[in-house]
Amino acid sequence: MNSSLLSLAIWTPIIGALVVLMTGNDRNAHLARPIALISAIVAFLVTIPLYTGFDTAVAGMQFVELYNWIPRFNINYHLGVDGISVLFILLNSFITIFVVLAAWQVIDTKVAQYLAAFLAMSGLINGIFSSLDGVLFYVFFEASLIPMYIIIGIWGGPNRVYAAFKFFLYTLLGSLLMLIALIYLFMASNGSFNILDWHELKIGMGPQSYLFFAFLIAFAVKVPMWPVHTWLPDAHVEAPTGGSVVLAAIALKLGAYGFLRFSLPIAPDASQYFAPLMITLSLIAVIYIGFVALVQQDMKKLVAYSSISHMGFVTLGFFIFNQLGIEGALVQMISHGFVSGAMFLCIGVLYDRLHSRQIADYGGVVNVMPKFAAFFLLFSMANSGLPATSGFVGEFMVILGAVKYNFWIGFAAATTLIVGAAYTLWMYKRVVFGEITNPHVAEMSDINSREFLILGILAIAVLAMGLYPYPFTDVMHASVDNLLKHVAVSKL
Amino acid sequence: MLTNFVPPDLAPAYPEIFLLTMACAILLVDVIMGAASRGLVAALSLMTLFGCAALTALTATGEVNTTFSGMFIDDAFADLLKMLVYGSVAAVLVYSRGYLRDRGLDKAEYYLLVLFATLGMMVMISAGHFLTVYLGLELMSLSIYALVAMDRDSARSTEAAMKYFILGALASGLLLYGMSMMYGATGTLEINGVLQALAMGQANGIVLVFGLVFLVSGLAFKLGAVPFHMWVPDVYHGAPTPMTLFISSAPKLAAFAMIMRLLVFGTIPLAEQWQPMLLIMAVLSIIVGNLAAIAQTNIKRMFAYSAISHMGFMLLAFTTGVFNGHAALALEAYTSAFYYMVAYVLMSLAGFGILLLLSRSGYDVENLEDLKGLNQRSPWYAAVMMMTMFSMAGIPFFVGFFAKFSVLLSAVAANLVWVAVLAVAFSLVGAFYYLRVVKLMYFDAPNDVAPIHASIDMRVLLSLNGIAIAVFGAFPEPLMQLCRQALARSLF
């Protein structure tokens, strides 16, 4: 009973990318843009049945597709989603539409290549979230580096080459070790690359520890966790707006997703054993990186550090091993997808007008851009975790989970509510309020209808998720429950 | 006495006989028609290769046929390799023509020497006797020395040819010396006879190992593995680009055949002795090749060092065939090596093909800088080169990924996890210089904006070559199975 929905979710944007590429050079940019938009919208529409047709009572994989791919190594084209992964496919396809829209007037060189790179990446990322075969996962995981490398390198800021190399090599370093781990698991399971088979595999503590660290390096770089986070601020700052949005909203989730799909179920004993280490690293990310964000002069860097800090929450939620923690972390991941995407889009709006990312160059924006200021305020509040926005739900659940695990860990995590509010709102105050000191700011025009549409839809998403998170938690409940039961059983 | 003479069965050698006849015919055409025959000679050479392919396909029985008293073997392994050789030589002829014409080098000698070198390779591939190996090797090598020196007014080319000749002659000497030792120990020069003598276990161990060391050194010389790699960068750099293209393609397949015939078909009982030798060379080649390639500014030298590292990777597969005294992994391991070699030739053809495409009269594309901004000049060929670079770096969906993957898999299967980790670590180093090429093509502005001129056959073939890199990357199974079956039918 093969369903083809997941294949559609993967290949629709990739085929769209090829069609966009065929429009050729910039003379045909007027063709490339609508084709890309249509592809992105169609690609999102085909993912909707994944949500509406999802059976929330089932913990296992749904919409499974299984075909032989490389029989010599028993590698299969094996796709499927559970409550943990399905939402990310929707999120990814949803965000891609905004990335295409955000580029509409802003990107005017090599338009077709720009849009095609994002569409291709969207498809590859859907592939990562739905792969149930280790090699298929790896192939998508690595291949998704190529478009991002190109995006940062061609359309990025002044220091783009350095950032592109750093991004690529850092991530490759992690994933190559994962490749060895995958091959090891293939040997240990007598020739299977099926991730679900690996979940059932009995592995001794020694190999479990090696596997745990191999996966940790791969995913920690991607999340990114302290201390391997240094590529992210560079990549974010240099990437064009669309690149930052995809990096923050989607790419960071890949690492966190990897923990849930590989580390926890394959090496549960090692995960439990090294949980204190993971919690420590997460708390350092939450608190220390929060303070680092406070002193940034560059808006994009500030949001980049805030992303690292928020992702620290996610890894914290995973490694306290309770329902609230993991579900909270997942909600936080989706909320962060909306919020950080929206924050980068807001900064993009400012950058398009003034071509500066420095906080000091702004001030008094509210006087000339009142509509923008309202949206920016909402997203800033969501970023600092104000109740009734999506940012609050996830953080609150993780903090509750952490308090259940250990009061002081919960306490330390809760300080983020203060630090997060401090750096976000202080930045907001310096950029938006006050007197206009820079004459160029006075010339800035308010957002146009295209920008209004993008920010408006994201604002609705942020508020809806903050007020009524049930549709999200309902989907993941059974799968998270199942994962926790699985992790609680020793595989020694 | 003559009555006892039984004429040998010529059928297995029809392709070789046909090639030799055609080469002589082409020589006559050139002598009679002179300079007017240029186009005809090129066309005839290509037709000769097609004819050989047809003959090889027609005479293929799938079984092992020997003739000339066991000196010549026609088996599935030889047939497949020969087909690949014809294909790559044909590609070389097509890619080189424009370049040679621009420089007045497209003389009949070029085509003849290439054809004679091809004949040498075919003899090597079909060798059933140490002397046949040597005969084929010398025919190939002498033709290539002359090819490298074709541009006789260029001091650099003649120097490269001289260096190649002297070192090549030394390597041949080593090989011959090793063969004589083997003869001393086993009393035969026939590859199958050596195998049987070794299986009986009556040969003198010390003499055997002594001979083996020389054999392996000679092979390593021809392959360009560290520490016998010194000639590779100089020859790649010094030779005119079409000759470099030739050296880096079909002869690698022939060298692979030589390793298979001498080490696997002939001396597999000594695998426990030659595997460690190859392992050391493989590891050193991967390290030195990747590190030295970083420092190169000349792209041909960079490709030379990259070739050294690729040969190291390929040799790695040979070190895993016999494990714990059992040839359990032999077929899988040698299939991996075979596939790796085919993948390398495919990538090498595309890489040098692009260099030839961009060169024109009076302007050789030699330095990395010359590739700057290729994406603006021709997005499609930039994409072909990008796919080639990512493929060489071992990033999926390109042919190089599954080639590296299968080698790593066989290394882990043979408990050589540390070697796999090391190989992977240096792949990361390698990724840097391949990424640099992509960076130059995509992120930088072009120095040179001249339009690209090339004949239609070259454009089509180069595009197909690029597409093949992607298609075999996504669907490696058919080609892998082809290699595997050819080996399975011939080996055991």
Which of A70, A154, A169 is nearest residue B443 as measured by Cβ atoms? A154
**Where residue B3 falls among pLDDT bands split at 50, 70, 90?**
low
Quick check: A164 and B443 CB within 8 A? Answer: yes
Q: Which residues of B touch A113 (CB under 8 A)?
A: 375, 379
Q: Which residues of B touch A72 (CB under 8 A)?
A: 406, 477, 480-481, 484
User: From CA B380, how far away is CA B367, in angstroms rounded?
Assistant: 21
Kindly provide the b/e burial profile for residues A120-137, where b requires at least 16 CB atoms within 10 angstroms of the residue's own CB: bbbbbbbbbbbbbbbbbb
Identity (one letter) of the amino acid at A117?
A
Mutate: best of B386, B415, B439, B484, partner A, most A CBs <10 A:
B439
pLDDT(B1) > 70: no
Quick check: B439 and A161 CB within 8 A? Answer: yes
Q: According to the model, what pLDDT value does residue B387 have?
A: 92
Instruction: List residues in chain A touching B: CB distance below 8 A.
Output: 24-25, 69-73, 110, 113, 135, 138-139, 142-143, 145-146, 149-150, 153-154, 160-161, 164-165, 168-169, 172-173, 176-177, 179-180, 183-184, 186-187
User: From CA B248, how far away is CA B95, in angstroms rounded?
Assistant: 13
CA B37 to chain centre: 30
pLDDT(B2) > 70: no
User: From CA B374, how far away is CA A175, in angstroms rounded?
Assistant: 29
Query: Least CA distance to B424: which residue of chain A?
Result: A176
Which of A142, A149, A180 is nearest residue B396 as measured by Cβ atoms? A142
Question: B379 in contact with A at a CB cutoff of 8 Å?
Answer: yes
Q: What is the mean pLDDT of chain B?
A: 88
Q: Which residues of A touch B408 (CB under 8 A)?
A: 179-180, 183
pLDDT(A282) > 70: yes
**Where residue A139 falls among pLDDT bands split at 50, 70, 90?**
very high
pLDDT(B123) > 90: yes
User: From CA A116, how far away is CA A389, in angstroms rounded?
Assistant: 33
Q: Which residues of A touch B375 (CB under 8 A)?
A: 110, 113, 154
Which of B375, B420, B428 is nearest residue A173 as measured by Cβ atoms? B428
Locate the domains of chain B by residue range: 268-492
Name the token pair of A261: 């799909």
Average pLDDT over every residue of B309-325: 87
Quick check: A169 and B397 CB within 8 A? Answer: no
Contact indicator for B330, B322 with CB cutoff of 8 Å: yes
pLDDT in tens, B130-166: 999 999 999 999 999 999 998 888 888 999 999 999 9
pLDDT(A2) > 70: no
Quick check: B477 and A72 CB within 8 A? Answer: yes
Q: Which of A105-114, A271-280, B413-422 has the lowest mean pLDDT?
A: A105-114
Q: Which residues of A touch B417 (CB under 8 A)?
A: 180, 184
Average pLDDT over every residue of B196-214: 85
Name the token pair of B331: 């077929």
User: From CA A240, how far away is CA A247, in angstroms rounded?
Assistant: 11
pLDDT(B106) > 60: yes
Nearest of B393, B366, B380 to residue B154 by alpha carbon: B366
Q: Which residues of B touch A110 (CB under 8 A)?
A: 375
Q: According to the model, what pLDDT value does residue B324 have?
A: 75
User: From CA B255, how far away is CA B261, in angstroms rounded?
Assistant: 10
Q: What percent of chain B has pLDDT over 70?
A: 99
pLDDT in tens, B216-243: 999 998 888 888 888 999 999 988 889 9
Cα separations in angstroms, A258 against A216, A483, B383, B405, B463? 9, 13, 30, 21, 37
Average pLDDT over every residue of B202-212: 84
Q: Which residues of B touch A116 (CB under 8 A)?
A: none
**Where residue A114 falls among pLDDT bands split at 50, 70, 90?**
confident
Q: Which of residues 383-402 of B touch A (CB under 8 A)?
A: 390, 395-397, 401-402
Quick check: B408 and A179 CB within 8 A? Answer: yes
Q: Which residues of A touch B413 (CB under 8 A)?
A: 187
pLDDT(B6) > 80: no
Q: Which residues of B touch A73 (CB under 8 A)?
A: 405-406, 409
Q: What is the 3-state secondary structure (H, E, C) of chain B?
A: CHHHCCCCCCHHHHHHHHHHHHHHHHHHHHHHHHHHHHHHHHHHHHHHHHHHHHHHHHHCCCCCEEECCCCEEECHHHHHHHHHHHHHHHHHHHHHHHHHHHCCCCCHHHHHHHHHHHHHHHHHHCECEHHHHHHHHHHHHHHHHHHHCCCCCCHHHHHHHHHHHHHHHHHHHHHHHHHHHHHHHHCCCEHHHHHHHHHHCCCCHHHHHHHHHHHHHHHHHHHCCCCCCCHHHHHHHHCCHHHHHHHCCHHHHHHHHHHHHHHHHHCHHHHHHHHHHHHHHHHHHHHHHHHHHHCCCEHHHHHHHHHHHHHHHHHHHHCCCCECCECCCHHHHHHHHHHHHHHHHHHHHHHHHHHHHHCECCECCCEHHHHCCHHHHCHHHHHHHHHHHHHHHCCCCCHHHHHHHHHHHHHHHCCCHHHHHHHHHHHHHHHHHHHHHHHHHHHCCCCCCCCCCCCHHHHHHHHHHHHHHHHHHHCCHHHHHHHHHHHHHHHC
Which of A25, A138, A176 is nearest residue B424 as measured by Cβ atoms? A176
Mutate: best of A77, A133, A183, A185, partner B, most B CBs <10 A:
A183
Contact indicator for B13, B56 with CB cutoff of 8 Å: no
What ipTM does this complex have? 0.88
pLDDT(B171) > 80: yes
User: From CA B470, how far away is CA B464, in angstroms rounded?
Assistant: 10
Quick check: B406 and A142 CB within 8 A? Answer: no
Average pLDDT over every residue of A383-405: 86
Q: What is the mean pLDDT of chain A?
A: 86
Average pLDDT over every residue of A346-374: 84
Quick check: B439 and A164 CB within 8 A? Answer: yes
B453: number of Cβ within 10 Å: 12
Which of A72, A153, A165 is nearest residue B481 as measured by Cβ atoms? A72
Question: Alpha-carbon Rg of chain A, whole angstroms?
Answer: 21
pLDDT(B285) > 90: yes
Q: Quote the minimal CA–CA distance from A248 to chain B in Å.
A: 23
Nearest of A165, A157, A162, A206 to residue A184 by alpha carbon: A206
Place of tokens 């702004």: A362
Name the token pair of B279: 């392992």
Quick check: A70 and B412 CB within 8 A? Answer: no
**Where residue A191 falls among pLDDT bands split at 50, 70, 90?**
confident
**Where residue A61 falls among pLDDT bands split at 50, 70, 90?**
confident
pLDDT(B492) > 70: no
Quick check: A143 and B395 CB within 8 A? Answer: yes
Q: What is the 3-state secondary structure (H, E, C) of chain A?
A: CCCCHHHHHHHHHHHHHHHHHHCCCHHHHHHHHHHHHHHHHHHHHCCHHHHHCCCCCCCCCEEEEEEEEEHHHCEEEEEEECCCCHHHHHHHHHHHHHHHHHCCCCCCCCHHHHHHHHHHHHHHHHHHHHECEHHHHHHHHHHCHHHHHHHHHHHCCCCHHHHHHHHHHHHHHHHHHHHHHHHHHHHHCCCCCEHHHHHHCCCCHHHHHHHHHHHHHHHHHHCCCCCCCCHHHHHHHHCCHHHHHHHHHHHHHHHHHHHHHHHHHHCHHHHHHCHHHHHHHHHHHHHHHHHHHHCCCEHHHHHHHHHHHHHHHHHHHHCCCCHHHHHHHHHHHHHHHHHHHHHHHHHHHHHHHHCCCEHHHCCCHHHHCHHHHHHHHHHHHHHCCCCCCHHHHHHHHHHHHHHHHCHHHHHHHHHHHHHHHHHHHHHHHHHHCCCCCCHHHHCCCCCCHHHHHHHHHHHHHHHHHHHCCHHHHHHHHHHHHHHHHHHHCCCC
Question: B476 in contact with A at a CB cutoff of 8 Å?
Answer: yes
Average pLDDT over every residue of A126-134: 91
Q: Quote the minimal CA–CA distance from B184 to chain A in Å.
A: 41
Average pLDDT over every residue of B329-341: 89
Q: According to the model, what pLDDT value does residue A153 have?
A: 85
pLDDT(B431) > 60: yes
pLDDT(B326) > 80: no
Quick check: B405 and A160 CB within 8 A? Answer: no
User: From CA B268, how far away is CA B491, in angstroms rounded?
Assistant: 11
Q: Classify residue B223 by burial, with Cβ atoms within 10 Å: 0-12, 13-18, 19+.
A: buried
Quick check: B439 and A145 CB within 8 A? Answer: no
Question: B157 in contact with A at a CB cutoff of 8 Å?
Answer: no
Q: Which residues of B touch A177 (CB under 8 A)?
A: 421, 424
Tell me the sheet residues that pair with A479. Answer: none
Q: According to the model, what pLDDT value does residue A237 have?
A: 83
Name the token pair of A257: 């997703």
Q: What percent of chain B has pLDDT over 90?
A: 43
The reported pTM is 0.91
